[in-house]
Structure 1
Amino acid sequence: MPTERAALETAQLREGGLRERHKLARRTRILEAARELLRERPDDPLTAERIAERAEVAPATVYNLVGPRDKIWQALAASFLGELEQRLAEAHTRDAIGRAQEVVAQTVDLFIENASVSRRILIEWEQSGLVLSRGPLSHLRHALADAQRTGLLRTDIDVATLAGVVASASVGVTHQWIAGQIDEQQFAAQALLALDVALAAAAVDQQRSHFLSRLNSHRTVRPTTRQTT
């Protein structure tokens, strides 16, 4: 039979686990409240007081479980990356080039679907570049490395540098979208165009015509300022 001390330790573990679950539930509610506020009134300041009121917790709870304003953006970005990781894990594309396209397309789709949140993260958070550099860039490097190993890309190409070029171009396109210079369709098209330019430049001789034909199939996408009402 369990000793009294063992029973006490078991009870303490259960209590600690329950307490952590409650903290996680409140933190999740706080972040969802922040997302709701951004969707409803994207231009209003995102304060701990507004978040606390929506989440039905005290402002001190927001600070304790998430942190000050910069940490709120960081937590929202982490949630964003978590969703992207899940989508990429569920993708069924297995060939290297298809996976590279999937990384770009899924990232763009996630930005568009969460436009109010993603725009504010990129505008407000000083370290917002991490949203692209940590998740999507890592997946893109792996996909391009597989393409190189299977003989689609030249061996003298540094795939990390190639992925960085694609990411830099995509960041520029993202900021054009944020500024309203291009619409959602143009955002997606130009991000994929950046990938195809890189692939055409890095392709082995036997594959170059294929990648060039893909590149030439893109319609010219010209930035146009959207009309606001």
Structure 2
Amino acid sequence: MPTELRLRRVRLELRTLFALALPMMIAQLASTAMGFVDTVMAGRVSPQDLAAVALGNSIWVPVYLLVCGITLATTPNVAQRFGAGRHGEIGPLVRQALWMGGGIGVLSASLMWNAEPVLHLLSVDQALVDPTMAYLRAVACGFPAVALYQVLRCFSDGLGHPRPSMVIGILGLLLNIPLNYVFIYGKFGVPAMGGVGCGVSTALVMLFMLVAMSLWVKR
């Protein structure tokens, strides 16, 4: 193969790879950035709320990344069958992945709900334990939803459609900001929750992402 033709083929493959990878990277960055937004907005309430949310993030974000890593196996499995034309095998595969994702989501939520011994093991001040656990338990309520979302996201990515997850991730991040404002400061009849409100808004955003991706997959 001539060198010029080889270079042209490499550039084409790199361009295609970048077009697929960039939306995935943006979607992942938008999802993990919710913890950063929570920390910034909680810091405007009080030092205690800031510390509780930052400490909670150090627990739930790694758990979230673990869930993402496990469900990520769906993408290559779907892509392999889609590329080979074995479309009939994709549905059963994704349904099994949804069962697995739901189980992982419930297990992760249970671990976070009962994470207080970890805080004691880390010698966290007792005054921070209660607000941190309240924040973690609020976020934990959204974990079954976000685990199912990750499976559907990987399904879409495996079919060569990474942009929906990017758009939904960005919308979720943008939605997290006004929801934080409402639940932190108590607007529109909602009681002020301080840092715990960040956890409530994060759980609601996780549910929104699942609903949005479910509508896309159905379409």
Structure with a larger share of its residues in helix? 2
> Do they fold alike, i.e. is TM over 0.5?
no
Higher RCO, Cα 8 Å, sep 6+: 2
- Greater C-alpha radius of gyration: 1
